Amino acid sequence: MFLKSLDLKNYRNYSSCSLEFSPGINVLLGRNAQGKTNLLEAIYVLATARSHRTANDRELIYFGEDQADIKGSVSRHTGTLPLELQLGKHGKKARVNHLEQAKLSQYIGQLNVILFAPEDLALVKGNPTGRRRFIDMEFGQIAPRYLHNLTQYRDVLKQRNRYLKLLSTHQTTDKVFLDVLSEQLAAFGGSIIAQRLEFLQELEKYAQELHLAITQGAEKLTLTYDSKLKDVLGHSEQELQQLMYQQLKGQLQKEIFQGTTLFGPHRDDIKFLINGKNVQTFGSQGQQRTTALSVKLAEIDVMKEQTGEYPLLLLDDVLSELDGQRQTHLLKTIQNKVQTFLTAPAMNDVAKNLIKAPRIFTIENGH
């Protein structure tokens, strides 16, 4: 798929802007603070209905205005699809084909994007929150059921934690309601774990291949799911739900004492291994970055396999962060198949690696 055009109104520092893109590579050039990242962010928001930089939609609205509008025209195998997102001070409206969608989950997934920024190179050495966010954002775009389970899980988790607080501070002694919440949490949690395991297996298949190529056959990359629950491997979704429920029940006293939920997908993590050794603890800086690159690029293929179409790739200042060999691999992987938007301070940073001429946009102060 690719984004044919984008219209912004009062989005960040763009008061009004209409752009037509190339289905190949689009380069956004400009000095600092001109609006390069803002433009990539607008495409990301059009796809996922949320920003990768902030949870507060108000920041996305042009200073002093009440509403931001993002419109895009997406070309897919099935035809052209207009998408519209309206961000107001009191919420957002999403339209697909001019029809307003009652739920955002019906909107998300029409346009698939992968965003790659310098902080993603820290995926491996950073904290577990970043790695969970990575799975949730990427997988949520292509699997509506995953997104649904995740939203429900978060709601029940909040309720359950509130109730555990009440029990831990002796404001209630009734454990029947807690059991209801445990059962609900385990139902959504077990499904999430089952889906994550499946997703990681897919991701590993492609990441392994890319990693071998980048390291010229020297490093075998494997991904494992690191769960706070015991023995999650080799179970069906239903068994995982049962497993989580049993383990929640078994640790109830500890949870009541601490006043919070100690097990479940919100505490889980991913481990990356090279030739069997944990990259986070034993890997060099370069190995950690190459691993992050392989995993990010593998997503392109996972999305293709799941949705039948390649996603868009948004690269924010990453080329300058990679050495020559990794740059070559990145550009080789995307050229001729993935519509790409990349930011750079100047053209000579990108030109040497491109086969075909890109479409170039020079950005100055939101224009």
Span of 37-45, 119-127, 128-136, 146-154 interacting with Mg ion by CB under 5 A: 37-45
Under rule CB under 6 A, residue 119 binds ligand ATP = no
Under rule CB under 6 A, residue 52 binds ligand ATP = no
For residue 36, the minimal CB distance to Mg ion (Å) is 5
How many residues contact ligand ATP, by CB under 6 A?
14
Alpha carbon 263 to chain centroid distance?
Answer: 23
CA distance 209 to 241: 32
Under rule CB under 5 A, residue 294 binds Mg ion = no
Under rule CB under 5 A, residue 37 binds Mg ion = yes
Assigned token pair, 116:
């790659």
Assigned token pair, 287:
């190995």
Under rule CB under 5 A, residue 149 binds Mg ion = no
Give the number of other Cβ atoms within 10 Å of residue 33's Cβ. Answer: 10
Under rule CB under 6 A, residue 35 binds ligand ATP = yes
Pairing verdict, β 25-29 and 340-344? parallel
Answer with the entry of Mg ion, ligand ATP, none that 288 interacts with (C-beta below 5 to 8 A by kind).
none
Give the number of other Cβ atoms within 10 Å of residue 271's Cβ. Answer: 15
The amino acid at 315: L
Under rule CB under 6 A, residue 33 binds ligand ATP = yes
Residue recorded with tokens 């944990």: 278
Among the listed residues 150, 188, 157, the one whose alpha carbon sits nearest the alpha carbon of residue 255: 157
Answer with the entry of ligand ATP, Mg ion, none that 281 interacts with (C-beta below 5 to 8 A by kind).
none
Task: Give 37 or 327: the residue with its C-beta nearer to Mg ion.
Answer: 37
Give the number of other Cβ atoms within 10 Å of residue 21's Cβ. Answer: 21
Is there a contact between 231 and 188 (Cβ–Cβ < 8 Å)?
A: no
Site for ligand ATP in 203-232 (CB under 6 A): none
Residue recorded with tokens 């989005």: 11
Span of 58-66, 135-143, 232-240, 272-280 interacting with ligand ATP by CB under 6 A: 58-66
- Residue 96: C-alpha distances to residues 81, 85, 145, 257 (Å): 7, 9, 19, 48
Q: Is residue 30 annotated as involved in ligand binding?
A: yes
Residue recorded with tokens 């070309």: 75
Under rule CB under 6 A, residue 59 binds ligand ATP = yes
Under rule CB under 5 A, residue 38 binds Mg ion = no
Q: Which of 22, 26, 38, 287 binds ligand ATP (CB under 6 A)?
A: 38
For residue 189, the minimal CB distance to Mg ion (Å) is 37
Contact footprint for ligand ATP (CB under 6 A): 12-13, 30, 32-38, 59, 61-63
